[in-house]
């Protein structure tokens, strides 16, 4: 009896080894499992229940046991179905393992940043950024004149710092001589008016160093490519110094540089697609200087453009006098803008924008740079997924990619909702500018008429 039980247990283990093959693969077996697309067929011998024990006993050279047949309640057909079902199940598991392994090994190496371009000229931009960053951090004294030159020379290195400084010094010399000849007081109001006179009118002074009389002409508005979209140098102070014509970026900036050089208090301010000068008059009231039309104005005049909202004024992006360090941040933004013209948007642009927003969270230029950076980065990440034929579901599961997409949405929301920015079309700015010049021409006519009337008395 004991011997019969032992034989039956041995038989049962043999059937199990057929029905449940091992899943421990050797290297060659794993390769086959990963590359084979067909199911391995196992041939099941057809034997009757009465011959099962006899065949096994003969193979084992054991005497045929005496006693009745044992029936476990499973027919021959059912037994084959169970074996085939187990093999099919194992095959599906192998295919799944194959798919998972191949997916793991073939997963592309995505980039979640924009590589910095290190082409010719990048060194000038890197050096300019380090020096401007030092001014914002406080490790380098704030020097507005040098900051302007650093930005412009990074894109156009044809004017060195000595020449740039010398040309500004010439203007400062004329302004101070004009004040001395006309015995103007050393008040802030007198200094501001003298700078305006030099830039917006014709003046004549005698220069003792050369013993000659010098006459200067007013600086004019350059209508050709006034936004610098075709040629960025159109908005440069260096171009204004060389040609005598500029626009709403270079003219107010040069005025501010003259003010710093002679010790006058004046401020740069923004309006939609526009910059101008703010200063306090002798009574402490804020006044505006529009160098585009060579005239004095008020904030009400700027409101009349129709593109300024109360939300924008509350957020501080428009009509606010900028502190010196924020003007330096503005120059850093200009550095990024010309950099993009050469190298495109990359992490260097993001670094500049991030620095500006760090020091001035509501700065429009810095936030605009960050929005443009994240918009470009999110497109770059999405393009990588399309190139590798990956689904939207794969993109949704990528935490790094989602972080980029969320950053883009956050930057867009910040600039439009929190700061209230909206784009001013070129045609709208041109129409507003024409209105400025029309008003300026009318005022010039009144001034000239008054002068002529004085001669009749």
CA 403 to chain centre: 14
- When the pLDDT of each residue in the chain is averaged and rounded to a whole number, the result is 80
pLDDT at 302: 83
> Given a cut of 90, is residue 154 above it in pLDDT?
yes
> Given a cut of 70, is residue 420 above it in pLDDT?
yes
Tens digits of residue pLDDT in 187-208:
999 999 999 999 999 999 999 9
pLDDT band at 227 (very low <50, low <70, confident <90, very high): confident
Tens digits of residue pLDDT in 356-372:
999 999 999 999 999 99
User: Are 415 and 371 within 8 A, CB to CB?
Assistant: yes
Specify the higher pLDDT residue, 271 or 24: 271
Burial class of 23 by CB neighbour count within 10 A (0 to 12, 13 to 18, 19+): exposed
Determine how many CB atoms are found less than 10 A away from the CB of residue 152: 26
Tens digits of residue pLDDT in 302-344:
887 668 899 999 999 999 999 999 999 999 999 999 999 999 9
Quick one: which H or E segment has residue 296?
strand 295-297
Burial class of 60 by CB neighbour count within 10 A (0 to 12, 13 to 18, 19+): exposed
pLDDT at 301: 79
Q: Give the pLDDT mean for 169-182.
A: 96
Tens digits of residue pLDDT in 282-309:
889 999 999 988 888 888 878 876 688 9
pLDDT at 82: 64
Q: Give the pLDDT mean for 388-417.
A: 91
Residue among 340, 312, 377 at smallest CA distance from 232: 340
pLDDT at 336: 98
> Given a cut of 90, is residue 5 above it in pLDDT?
no
Q: Give the pLDDT mean for 222-237.
A: 87
pLDDT at 136: 97
Specify the higher pLDDT residue, 221 or 369: 369
pLDDT at 57: 42
> Which residue has tokens 């508005």?
221
Q: CA 55 to CA 53: how far, in whole Å?
A: 6
Q: Give the pLDDT mean for 374-390.
A: 91
pLDDT band at 62 (very low <50, low <70, confident <90, very high): very low
């Amino acid at each position: 009896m004991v011997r019969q039980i032992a034989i039956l247990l041995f038989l049962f283990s043999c059937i199990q080894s057929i029905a449940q093959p091992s899943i421990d693969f050797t290297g060659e077996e794993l390769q086959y499992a990963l590359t084979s697309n067909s199911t391995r067929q196992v041939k099941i011998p057809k034997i009757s229940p009465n011959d099962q024990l006899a065949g096994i006993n003969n193979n084992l050279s054991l005497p045929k046991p005496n006693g009745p047949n044992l029936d476990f309640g499973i027919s021959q057909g059912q037994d084959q179905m169970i074996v085939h079902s187990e093999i099919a199940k194992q095959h599906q598991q192998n295919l799944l393992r194959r798919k998972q392994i191949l997916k793991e090994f073939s997963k592309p190496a995505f980039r979640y940043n924009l590589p910095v371009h290190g082409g010719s000229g990048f060194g000038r931009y890197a050096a300019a950024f380090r020096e401007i960053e030092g001014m914002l951090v406080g490790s380098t004294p704030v020097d507005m004149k040098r900051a302007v030159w650093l930005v412009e020379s990074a894109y156009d290195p044809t004017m060195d710092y000595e020449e740039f400084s010398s040309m500004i010094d010439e203007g400062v010399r004329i302004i101070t001589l004009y004040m001395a000849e006309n015995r103007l007081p050393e008040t802030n109001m007198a200094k501001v008016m003298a700078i305006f006179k030099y830039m917006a009118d014709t003046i004549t002074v005698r220069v003792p160093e050369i013993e000659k009389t010098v006459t200067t002409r007013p600086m004019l508005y350059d209508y050709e490519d006034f936004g610098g979209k075709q040629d960025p140098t159109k908005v440069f102070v260096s171009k204004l110094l060389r040609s005598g014509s500029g626009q709403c970026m270079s003219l107010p900036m040069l005025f501010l540089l003259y003010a710093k050089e002679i010790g006058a208090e004046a401020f740069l301010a923004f309006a939609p697609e526009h910059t101008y000068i703010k200063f306090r008059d002798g009574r402490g009231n804020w006044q505006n200087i529009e160098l585009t039309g060579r005239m004095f104005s008020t904030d009400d005049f700027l409101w009349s453009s129709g593109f300024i909202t109360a939300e924008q004024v509350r957020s501080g992006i428009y009509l606010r006098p900028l502190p010196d360090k924020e003007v330096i941040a503005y120059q850093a933004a200009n550095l990024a803008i010309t950099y993009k013209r050469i190298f495109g948007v990359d992490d260097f642009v993001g670094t500049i924008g991030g620095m500006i927003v760090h020091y001035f969270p509501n700065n429009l230029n810095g936030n605009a740079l960050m929005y443009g950076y994240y918009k470009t980065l999110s497109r770059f990440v999405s393009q990588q997924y399309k190139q590798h034929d990956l689904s939207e579901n794969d993109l949704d599961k990528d935490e790094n990619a989602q972080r980029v997409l969320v950053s883009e949405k956050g930057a867009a929301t910040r600039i439009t909702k929190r700061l209230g920015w909206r784009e001013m079309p070129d045609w709208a700015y041109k129409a507003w500018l024409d209105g400025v010049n029309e008003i300026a021409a009318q005022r010039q006519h009144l001034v000239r008429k008054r002068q002529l009337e004085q001669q009749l008395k």
